[in-house]
Amino acid sequence: MQEKNEVDIPVRYIKGVGPKRSSLFEKLGIISVSDLFYYLPRRYEDRSKVAEIGSLGPGDESSVIGDIEKTAVFKARTGTNITEIVINDGTGRIYAVWYNMPFMIKNFKSGQKVLLYGKVELYNRLQITHPVYEILDDEANRESLEVGRIVPVYPVTQDLSQKYMRKTVHNAISRYLGHLPEVLPTYIRARRKLVDAKFAIGNIHFPHSMENLQRAYRRLVFEEFFILQVIMALKRKKQAKKGISHKIREGLLSDFQDLFDFELTEDQKRCIRDIENDMARGIPMNRLLQGDVGSGKTVVAMYALLMAVHSGYQAVMMAPTEILARQHYVTVSQTLMPLGLNIRLLVNGLDDSTKDAVKKEISEGNADIILGTHSVFQENVNYDNLGLVIIDEQHKFGVDQRKSLRDKNIEADTLVMTATPIPRSLVLTVYGDMDISVLKSKPSGRGPVATYWVGEDKRAEVYRFIGEQLDDGRQAFVVCPRIKKGDKTSLASAEEMFEKLSKDIFRRYRVALIHGGKKTEENDKVMRKFGKGEYDILVTTTIVEVGVDIPNATVMLVEQADRYGLAQLHQLRGRIGRGKDMASYCVLMGEPSTEGGKERLNAISTMDDGFQISEKDLDLRGPGEFFGTRQSGLPELKFGDIIRDFKIMEEARIEAFCVIDNDAQLQDQRHLWIKKSIIERFKGKALGKG
């Protein structure tokens, strides 16, 4: 391919660097000239506007040009050394002052023309303290990097000054910019009105105008998103090799709908059509089913399971917790077992003999549908004819766990479900290689959950309200941020709350406790009893965050609610309001000490739409923390911001997928630098073999 380019040479060869100083650049991740080109300023100072001294006032930040009238060095009464020069531009005088820097006087002579930049102060006279300066001598076309222009400010270490960094970058641009390769083909740049790479790098460091800076930024962000989306397109292409062409029996959907006493929503019908089309093709389905809490994802998933089985294949559905897996098992069994299907549960909580029996049924092809946790992908679980994999709450599984299940049968269709509404910008970056179906509308009879944020002073009133709900035959959740009381924390613990409520506040009611520190079987037993109405109050941690369905629970109290993220609060709130035509209430008790905490509780109290909440959560916490923990698979972006620059990402995605649709191996001469860029950044992994 292309020979090694001059921009790939080590940074030490740049004028003014050398072997010793190159180690300082290496600490910043700058190894080559190219790395330096793409090491962007963190901000800019507009020092290009030169003002008349006579027009300046205190607080102004500007550049001035004038002649030096006087220079002086003297000691103040405090003993401080003061270096002072007086500048006159014909409209007024201004003083430039440096403290304890007597050596500065050597730089100035009366009569010299000088350019200063800084913030103007008033001390019985106009003064700039420690200004940036440039002596304007008679050297022709002298170019200042410090004043009289838009100046870059870099993220640097204490061993690398801004002045030295600017000079080094400028030297690199002067010597090597002409060798910078162009990754984006001309036809894409023309179509998207993008500047070329040389213009972009030159103006991202030393912009001639703010307009040029914006054009340079847009080009670099587009290129970064473009390469990312090419990777997504390549992954999609690799998945599209061979798969099962499921035979969808006519009338199957109508028969499925007859199993329910309610009408499917239009969103559910549309998502089912998407899945039907995917499964009928001879290409493996790779679809994300994204829906807000209570939008009916499980019903859509059950139809996908039914399609796979009716086509002669086994289907598996994996949940992140045993509680949720068992709940799915009950729901799917009640709905589909009457059709004569053999449905099995596989979780760690089963005894060994039961597990062995289920595994045998799976391997012999006698189990049609398997519900479980990570147990369903263990090495000793072998499928006879796996045709569909459904993963519920994908982000709660590790990448290796998801891959090992799909690898049980490389032809199997994959449907990923999440009740965490994900902003479109994150969908395109994290799930960009998948097709997306979205459920927004909720089944009839489900209204919004009335949500209130209250302080500690309202606790007695809240307890009275919960009691009224219980007296009406309803049930309640009380959610705490931790299991046990810690020595150095004031966080509410589930165990303490259980003791307090069961023995004092609600002693005449039936109170139960579950949390992650208990055995799974114990938690499952309590949950089943709570579901049957044998308990009135369930004290818990966030173990109930996902999928728990108790229609008779109409009230939830979340202790120290400011400790949770917006998405998590919305998920918790989704555990209530599931009973048809029952009013439900979520009480968030918290006294946040930060503005962020107040903003979160205000937002969740006034918003019900999960997608609106997800956008707010992303805005407050940033993409890296959106899922609660940093997810591998979330790309690191050097230039672009997936929220602010979303429109650029959409444009880049269109172009990237178009390139791969027409040249999947990137063999076209116009695409060779795209291929080289991917090989360098991803070590060729995205290209695969062949």
Q: What is the 3-state secondary structure (H, E, C) of 458-497?
A: HHHHHHHHHHHHHHCCCEEEEECCECCCCCCCCCCEHHHH
| The domain made up of 450-607 is a member of CATH 3.40.50.300 | yes
| Interatomic CA distance for residues 125 and 110, integer angstroms | 20
Percentage of residues in the chain having pLDDT higher than 90: 45
Of the pLDDT bands very low, low, confident and very high (cuts 50, 70, 90), residue 95 is: very high
143, burial (CB in 10 Å: exposed 0-12, middle 13-18, buried 19+):
exposed
Q: Which residue has the higher pLDDT, 633 or 45?
A: 45
Could you give the angle at which helices 297-310 and 266-280 cross, rounded to 10 degrees?
30
For residue 568, is pLDDT > 80? Answer: yes
Q: Angle, nearest 10°, between helix axes 566-573 and 610-621?
A: 150
Percent of the chain at pLDDT > 70 equals 89
Q: What is the pTM of this model?
A: 0.66
Asked if residue 632 has pLDDT above 80, the reply is no
Whether 487 has a pLDDT exceeding 70, the answer reads no
Q: Which CATH superfamily is domain 252-439 in?
A: P-loop containing nucleotide triphosphate hydrolases (3.40.50.300)
Query: What is the structure's pLDDT at 99?
Result: 93
pLDDT exceeds 50 at position 2: no
Beta pairing partners, 88 = 67, 93
**Cα angle: 607, vertex 611, 615; to 5 degrees:** 85
Q: Which segment, 10-14, 49-53, 391-395, is predicted with the most confidence on average? A: 10-14
Both tokens of residue 203?
């103006």
Judging by beta carbons within 10 Å of its beta carbon (0-12, 13-18, 19+), is residue 655 exposed, middle or buried? Answer: buried
Q: Can you give the pLDDT at residue 624?
A: 54
- Report, as an integer, the average pLDDT of 621-634: 51
Least confident segment among 83-92, 222-231, 304-313, 426-435:
426-435
Checking if the pLDDT of 175 tops 70, the result is yes
Residue whose pair of structure tokens reads 């499921």 in the numeric block: 246
Residue 5: DSSP 8-state = P
Sign, CA dihedral 392-395-397-402, equals positive
Q: Where in the chain is the domain with CATH 3.40.50.300?
A: 252-439, 450-607
CATH architecture of 49-148: Beta Barrel (2.40)
Going by pLDDT thresholds of 50, 70 and 90, the confidence category of residue 445 is low
Q: Is 14's pLDDT higher than 80?
A: yes
User: How far is residue 431's CA from residue 286's CA, in Å, rounded to a whole number?
Assistant: 10
What pLDDT is stored for residue 4 in this prediction?
A: 61
CB 235 within 8 A of CB 686: yes
pLDDT at 407: 59
- The pLDDT of residue 631 is 46
Give the confidence band of 138 by pLDDT, cuts at 50, 70, 90.
Answer: low
Q: Can you tell me the mean pLDDT for 596-612? A: 85
* Structure token digits, residue 675: 């291929």
| pLDDT at 104 exceeding the cut of 80 | yes
How many Å apart are CA 548 and CA 494, to the nearest integer?
18
The per-residue pLDDT for 596 is 83
Q: Which span out of 129-133, 239-243, 294-298, 408-412 was modeled with the highest average pLDDT?
A: 129-133
User: CA triplet 472, 473, 477: central angle to 5 degrees?
Assistant: 105
- pLDDT at residue 140 in the model: 39
Q: Which residues 6+ apart lie within 8 Å of 345 measured at CB?
A: 325, 326, 329, 358, 370, 371, 372
Picking from 583, 516, 505, 574, the residue whose alpha carbon sits closest to that of residue 545 is 574
- pLDDT, residue 141, reads 41
Taking only the tens place, the pLDDT of each residue in 311-367 is 999 999 998 888 888 889 989 999 998 889 999 999 988 888 999 999 999 999 999
Which tens digits make up the pLDDT trace of 571-585? 888 888 777 778 899
Outline which parts of the chain fall under CATH 2.40.50.140.
Answer: 49-148
Confidence band, pLDDT 50/70/90 cuts, at residue 435 = confident
Provide mean pLDDT across the span 160-183.
Answer: 92
Task: Convert the pLDDT of each residue in 499-538 to its tens digit.
Answer: 999 999 999 999 999 988 888 778 888 988 998 899 999 9
The yes-or-no verdict on residue 116 having pLDDT over 60 is yes
**Residue 408 corresponds to which tokens in the numbers above?**
């049980």
* Residue 553 identity: A
DSSP letters, 99-158, are ES-GGGGGG--TT-EEEEEEEEEESSSEEEES-EEEE--S-TT---SSSSSEEEE----T
Q: Is the pLDDT of residue 257 over 80?
A: yes
Please give the Cα distance from 502 to 425 (Å, whole number).
46
d(CA 131, CA 170): 22
What's the pLDDT score for residue 338? 87
Average pLDDT over residues 256-265: 88
**CB-count exposure of residue 22 (10 Å: 0-12, 13-18, 19+):** middle
Lowest mean pLDDT of 240-254, 314-328, 529-543, 630-644, name the range: 630-644
CB atoms within 10 A of CB 210: 12
Q: What would the mean pLDDT of 374-390 be, rounded to a whole number? A: 88
pLDDT band at 682 (very low <50, low <70, confident <90, very high): low
How many H helices and E strands in the chain? Answer: 21, 21
Confidence of residue 401 (pLDDT cuts 50, 70, 90): low
What are the pLDDT digits (tens) for 640-662? 887 788 889 889 999 999 999 99
Instruction: Tally the residues of the chain.
Output: 690
Output 526 or 485, whichever has higher pLDDT: 526
Average pLDDT, integer, range 7-13: 91
Q: What is the pLDDT of residue 683?
A: 52
Q: Is the dihedral of CA 352, 355, 360, 366 positive or negative?
A: positive
pLDDT at 655: 96
pLDDT category of residue 689 using cuts at 50, 70 and 90: very low
Q: Which of 650, 618, 623 is nearest to 221 (CA)?
A: 650
